[in-house]
Structure 1
Amino acid sequence: MAQKKKIGSYPNTMIVISLTAALFLIGFCGILVVQSKKLVSIIRQNIEVRVFIDKGTTSAGQDSLLVKLQQKPYVQTAGDSLSILYVSKEQAAEEFMEGTKEDFTAFLGENPLRNSYRVKVQEDYFEEAKLKAIKSDLEQLPGVYEVVYQENLADAINKNITKLYIVLASFALIMLVIIVLLINNTIKLAIYSQRFLIRSMQLVGATNGFIQRPFLMRGITQGLISALIAGFFLVILQQVAIRNVEGLSQLQEPQKLVFLLALLLILGILIGIVSTTQSLSRYLKMSLDDLY
């Protein structure tokens, strides 16, 4: 005995697999964006401007310069003990020799380096134009010999991160369009096989909302299941990466990850609802002759 076809029923395994894959890739792009923003934030927080002091400056003059540096609005807050770090010329020489493995003082007979302050700048000033303005401003202070920072670093990082965001957003959008089209076609084929059942229900007085309900419930269920599976695999992938990639744990932001997973859940449900509604509306408005 043939099983009676139930309205709203159609194979959903392929839809769930396809939607899961798309949501996983979209979520993966989201994680890359979150972690890249965190990386840029860490770089911004650690960017330093080196303020070299005139050799003839006294200890009192250096202290006075420190006070003036602390008053600058672009210097990181005074609560951060490392926002301004004093480096003597002896310390600078040790760092240089440690990096080059050469004792230049023995060759020159003296230490030509200068005492300096390493000043950390606030994130809002992580732009080449602003850093140049900071350099110009600091070089006007009494006792300052020269101000040095890594030129063009800020613009290079900002440009590259913008390109990365554009590429990831474009990829996620393409995946979203492809999966919506795929699901639409799958649902259309499923609804096509039930077009006469839909018309029969209309003839006996069933409203469009009543007919749509089982299809929408299935679409919502598919989106929910797909989002949960995609989120599960994203979390597993992230944990595996943290254990195998050194330093990756510093880029993690649990709150944003939870927010991203919630967005995937909402996106999955919305895709299920929109795709089902679009596919079903055609048959609800179709004349009897067009059904054949």
Structure 2
Amino acid sequence: MARTKKRVGTYPSGMILFSLTLALFLIGFCGMLAIQSKRVVTYIRENYEMRAFLDKGLSDSKMTKLSQTIAEKPYILKTNGAAQVTFVPKDVAAKEFIAETKEDFSKFLGENPLRDSYRIKLTEENFEEAKLQQVKQDLEEIDGVFEVVYQENLVDSINRNITKIYAVMSAFALILLIIIVVLMNNTIRLALHSQRMLIRSMQLVGATNGFITRPFLGRGMWQGLLAGVIAVALLLAGLQLAIHNLPELAMFQDTQKLIFLLAGIVGLGVLIGFLSTFQAVHRYLGLTLDELY
């Protein structure tokens, strides 16, 4: 029975494709978590409200001018061109207070001691203690504003936790990437082990290193491309399944960043396939005959 001839650049690729697909999927999953967490952080920061309590007895014209002055401040969040400044009459504030505390202070005070106020949402860039203090000071200098308050402890807690989350995710992604590169190098090196004698034979008949390496690199890049496409398909399927079961996730999607991430996954697959194959082939090209055995 005739033996099947080995062709340069051919080697068992099933395990390589599986390993690389799994690795790219994990990297993409971490990237999607990072994108989602960034959107969640932005949502939390932009929905945090600062309260500006007003002087008592302001006229309607004064209130209108005050509202316009606050809305024109550069640090005020604007959604579809509308400044996120909401007027809260003291009667509404009293009802909210009673609903939260279950205590009706008007029964023993005889009047409503609360003030009219504005609930103000700020841009994400101002969600820092130093900048919030500047905003507070600037608002309190406006004629008609009695006092500006916000929960300082909550701001500090949110910022500290966000920093910790980003640090942990960055470290995890870096460690994962290093493990993946080492794993792929070893996997491709083992796969090319069966081709070492063929590589040596080609060297003996005068083939250049470039001629020998070219088909291996082409196959490695093709495997990286295929693994990237499969990983992207799995990530999109998982994302759609998650949105189907939890529709609220749809509001945290960033389509542009997601496209860049998925394109990067495919590109990373091609790059890993190229570099790992290049390193493995050149290792065998430099071995002596004794080392080959």
TM-score of the aligned structures, taking structure 1 as reference length = 0.91
1:214 and 2:215 equivalent?
yes
Partner of 1:75: 76
Partner of 1:187: 188
Query: Residues 184 and 275 of structure 1 are in contact (CA less than 8 Å); yes or no, is this contact kept in structure 2?
Result: yes
Task: State the Cα distance separating 1:143 from its structure 2 match.
Answer: 2.2
CA distance in 2, matches of 1:128, 1:2: 75
CA distance in 1, matches of 2:186, 2:82: 61
Partner of 2:270: 269
Q: Deviations over 1:184-226 (max 9, x none)?
A: 2222223333222112112222121211122112211221121
Question: What is the RMSD computed on CA atoms of the aligned residues?
Answer: 2.1
The residue type equivalent to 1:118 in the other structure is R
The residue type equivalent to 1:228 in the other structure is V
CA distance in 2, matches of 1:94, 1:266: 57
**SS in structure 2 of the partner of residue 194 of structure 1:** helix
Structure-2 change in CA distance of 1:248 and 1:227 (3 Å): same
CA distance in 1, matches of 2:251, 2:204: 63
The residue type equivalent to 1:141 in the other structure is I
**SS in structure 2 of the partner of residue 41 of structure 1:** helix
CA distance in 1, matches of 2:280, 2:5: 23
Partner of 1:204: 205
Query: Residues 50 and 147 of structure 1 are in contact (CA less than 8 Å); yes or no, is this contact kept in structure 2?
Result: yes
Structure 2 residue ranges without an equivalent (≥5):
none
Task: State the Cα distance separating 1:257 from its structure 2 match.
Answer: 1.5
Query: Residues 70 and 78 of structure 1 are in contact (CA less than 8 Å); yes or no, is this contact kept in structure 2?
Result: no
Task: State the Cα distance separating 1:254 from its structure 2 match.
Answer: 2.1
CA distance in 1, matches of 2:100, 2:247: 23
Q: Deviations over 1:152-180 (max 9, x none)?
A: 43343333223222222222222222222
Moved more, 66-75 or 221-230: 66-75
Partner of 1:121: 122
Query: Residues 36 and 161 of structure 1 are in contact (CA less than 8 Å); yes or no, is this contact kept in structure 2?
Result: no
**SS in structure 2 of the partner of residue 234 of structure 1:** helix
Partner of 1:238: 239
**SS in structure 1 of the partner of residue 152 of structure 2:** coil
Task: State the Cα distance separating 1:246 from its structure 2 match.
Answer: 4.5
**SS in structure 1 of the partner of residue 77 of structure 2:** coil
Task: State the Cα distance separating 1:83 from its structure 2 match.
Answer: 1.9
1:170 and 2:174 equivalent?
no
Partner of 2:31: 30
Q: Deviations over 1:44-84 (max 9, x none)?
A: 22222211012243333333322332342222349643522
The residue type equivalent to 1:106 in the other structure is K
The residue type equivalent to 2:90 in the other structure is K
Matches within 5 A, 1:12-23: 12-23=13-24
Partner of 1:141: 142
Query: Residues 212 and 280 of structure 1 are in contact (CA less than 8 Å); yes or no, is this contact kept in structure 2?
Result: yes
The residue type equivalent to 1:271 in the other structure is I
CA distance in 1, matches of 2:126, 2:239: 32
Task: State the Cα distance separating 1:273 from its structure 2 match.
Answer: 0.5
Runs of 4+ in 1 over 4 A off after TM superposition: none
Percent identity between matched residues is 56
The residue type equivalent to 2:104 in the other structure is D
**SS in structure 2 of the partner of residue 145 of structure 1:** strand
Task: State the Cα distance separating 1:268 from its structure 2 match.
Answer: 0.7
